Amino acid sequence: MRRRSALKLTLALAAAAGLTAAAFALSRPAAAVAPKAQYLGSYTWKLKQPWFGGFSALKLSEGGTVMTVLSDRATLVTTRIQRSHGAISGVTAQRAHGLRASTGKVLRGFAGDSEGLAVSPDGSRYISFEGPARVVRYRRPEGRAKVLPRPKAFRKLPPNKSLETLAIDSRGHLYTLPEQAYDQNGQIPVWRWNGRRWSRPFSLPPSGSFLPVDADFGPDGRFYLLERDLTFLGFRSRLRRWDMTAAGPVNETVLLQTGPGTHDNLEGLSVWTDDTGRLRATMVSDDNFLPLQRTELVEYALPR
């Protein structure tokens, strides 16, 4: 989410959301706790470019050596990652593209609040925006956007709290959900695009004061959700996953929950398999373009 200051993640609103979610949590079974995710390391990425910072989504490929990363100011960057014994040792930015609207004009301001990223097998980039809430397709990063149909539900989402996440499954179906817009049952609504229309196949349970910031489908076919909480002592992060069935997600499992200040403002998630066959989660932090924060790439090994 774009903010000039991390303090704009309003503590009062977060607390209110936490009370609502906590009340709902009392009425549902607790999530299972799997063997914990194993911390592998962090890398602070620094680069003196005017577009650098505010990263809200990323996708890794080719064994974790190619990264596409999205800023919340409508900039899409392709990079190469250098690794030493599996750990990130360097990042080289290759190309940065200022995203364009369907009219061809470069996106700026409220219309350029890009948050979620999904890459299809044909290389198309799908991006979700918070303002106005929409999902668009780019066949080429430098090309014009093709805006997918906008259901009425998108138009009702609150500004700066809407389509924070975007994920794509093995069938090429897109899934998006808002950061803070619960349905009438206190659940997190999930919308799916099947290539022709949007539907709402299921919802997810909120828990505590954490809010969704990104999602991904892993190579194992499971659905992973990265969530964030802001406290007076710093950011907390949580990673949950579900097995996907024809009836919807089941077997909710908490893989990771950090204490305040463990990492920076983690907003982007990519789940992939490394050369040893180990499942990894790579996350990127949004520094809000503030000198007191940092762009951090964090990696964990995930249990199967």
Q: With contact defined as beta carbons under 8 Å apart, do 93 and 49 qualify?
A: yes
Q: Is the pLDDT reported for residue 21 higher than 90?
A: no
For 37-95, the pLDDT digits (tens) are 999 999 999 999 999 999 999 999 999 999 999 999 999 999 999 999 999 999 999 99
Say how many C-beta atoms besides its own lie within 10 A of residue 175's C-beta: 22
Mean pLDDT computed over every residue of the chain: 91
pLDDT of residue 25: 38
Say how many C-beta atoms besides its own lie within 10 A of residue 304's C-beta: 10
Q: Is the pLDDT reported for residue 19 higher than 90?
A: no
Q: What one-letter code names the amino acid at 116?
A: G
pLDDT class of 33 with cuts at 50, 70, 90:
low
pLDDT of residue 159: 84
Q: What share of the chain is helix, strand, coil (3-state, %, to 5)?
A: 10, 45, 45
Q: Phi/psi of residue 168, each to 5°?
A: -130, 135
To which residue do tokens 């090429």 refer? 172
Q: Phi/psi of residue 260, each to 5°?
A: -60, 130
Q: How many helices (H) and strands (E) does the chain have?
A: 2, 21
pLDDT of residue 8: 42
For 135-178, the pLDDT digits (tens) are 999 999 999 999 999 999 999 999 888 999 999 999 999 999 99
Alpha carbon dihedral 65, 70, 75, 81, in 10-degree steps, equals -20
Give the tokens for residue 254: 């908490």
Give the tokens for residue 250: 């089941």
DSSP 16-53: HHHHHHHHHHTTSPPPEEPSPPEEEEEEE-----TT--
Report the run of H or E that residue 13 belongs to, with start and end: helix 11-25
Q: With contact defined as beta carbons under 8 Å apart, do 269 and 250 qualify?
A: no
pLDDT of residue 191: 98
Q: Is the pLDDT reported for residue 14 higher than 50?
A: no
Give the CA angle between residues 36, 39, 44 to the nearest 5°: 150
pLDDT of residue 1: 52
Short-list 167, 160, 100, 154, CA closest to 130 = 160
pLDDT of residue 34: 59
Q: Is the pLDDT reported for residue 198 higher than 60?
A: yes
What is the DSSP code (8-state) at residue 48? Answer: -
Report the predicted TM-score, pTM, of the whole model to 2 decimal places.
0.90
For 265-289, the pLDDT digits (tens) are 999 999 999 999 999 999 999 999 9
Q: Is the pLDDT reported for residue 193 higher than 60?
A: yes
pLDDT class of 16 with cuts at 50, 70, 90:
very low
- Give the C-alpha separation, 221 to 43, whole Å: 27
CB half-sphere exposure, 298, CA atoms < 13 A: 26
